[in-house]
Amino acid sequence: MATTLPAAAYPPSDCPICPRLAAFRHEWRAKEPDWFNAPVPPFLPVGGAASVRLLISGLAPGLRGANRTGRPFTGDYAGDLLYSTLKSFGFARGTFEARPDDSLELLEAAIANAVRCVPPQNKPTGPEINACRRFLTPVLDSLPALTVIVTLGRIAHESTLRALGLRMADAPFKHGAAADAGRYRIIASYHCSRYNTNTGRLTPEMFHDVFRAARAAVDSAQAR
Ligand code: SF4
């Protein structure tokens, strides 16, 4: 059983496909040479790709978060809520210290962003989202035990649907909505960004409800 993803799931560190994002990376490499400043790879669980039952599909690295540390949702606020929630529902263990060398480990869950490079103002363009899907598709194709996908925000949701060859009407984006598509249950959530939590658009309880549903769906698929 494969424990890693195929090479096609990993863009080169100097991926030139999105000129605006490549220029932004170069700008930040010059400003902060000790930062990661490259396409951020998916975060896999201790059991490797073959053990993944839940995929969390995120938007893109945050400038001072994953773009700095090299691990999704690590280094900025969004990770605090995501990883504490994953631990609450048995999808992670260890201590999240917002560093890629902390003791946090994922369990049967993986995290991949729809866009691998940090976009200015956290806003990738449509062509950038479409271009980077070529790296999301091989992730989805390489997780043989995957049954549940949680999408964080509309962009990740719609890019994931497209990567799966689904229509938007198959699973319209709505926080907390779940749709079955083939062997997958797709659960949509607002993104766990600081903005969404500060404004009350997403509360920790709402986020817990999403992952409670994901846990139940993973367990029920395993029991079949
Ligand atoms: S966002 Fe994706 S496709 Fe665009 S430059 Fe980065 S890795 Fe390449």
Digit-coded pLDDT (tens) for 68-113: 999 999 998 889 999 999 999 999 999 999 999 999 999 999 999 9
Digit-coded pLDDT (tens) for 119-164: 999 999 999 999 999 999 999 999 999 999 999 999 999 999 999 9
The pLDDT assigned to 2 comes to: 56
Any idea what DSSP says for residue 200?
A: T
CA 73 to centroid of ligand 1, rounded, Å: 18
Question: Is 105 within a domain?
Answer: yes
11 lines ligand 1 (CB under 6 A): yes
Q: Which residues pair with 106 in a beta bridge?
A: 92
CATH number, domain containing residue 24: 3.40.470.10
Q: How many domains does the chain have?
A: 1
Kind and range of the H or E run holding 112: strand 109-113
Question: Is 185 within a domain?
Answer: yes
Digit-coded pLDDT (tens) for 23-61: 999 999 999 999 999 999 999 999 999 999 999 999 999
Q: Are 175 and 206 in contact (CB under 8 A)?
A: yes
CA 32 to centroid of ligand 1, rounded, Å: 20
Q: Which DSSP string do the residues of 73-110 spell out, in sequence order?
A: T-SSHHHHHHHHHHHHTTSEES---SSTTSS-EESSEE
The pLDDT assigned to 224 comes to: 75
Neighbours of 221 (CB within 10 A): 16
18 lines ligand 1 (CB under 6 A): yes
Range(s) of the domain holding residue 216:
15-223
Pocket test for ligand 1, best of 135, 136, 137 (most atoms within 8 A of CB): 135
Question: Could you tell me the two tokens for 199?
Answer: 């404004």
Distance, in Å, from the CA atom of 188 to the CA atom of 207, rounded to the nearest integer, reads: 10
Question: Is 173 within a domain?
Answer: yes
CB proximity list for 200: less than 8 A, separation 6 or greater: none
Question: Is 48 within a domain?
Answer: yes
CA 148 to centroid of ligand 1, rounded, Å: 25
User: Is the pTM for the entire model greater than 0.85?
Assistant: yes
Asked if the model's pLDDT at residue 1 lies above 90, the reply is no
Q: What is the CA radius of gyration of the chain?
A: 16
Question: Is 150 within a domain?
Answer: yes
Distance, in Å, from the CA atom of 207 to the CA atom of 176, rounded to the nearest integer, reads: 9
Residue with CA at minimum distance from ligand 1 atom 4: 18
Question: Is 7 within a domain?
Answer: no
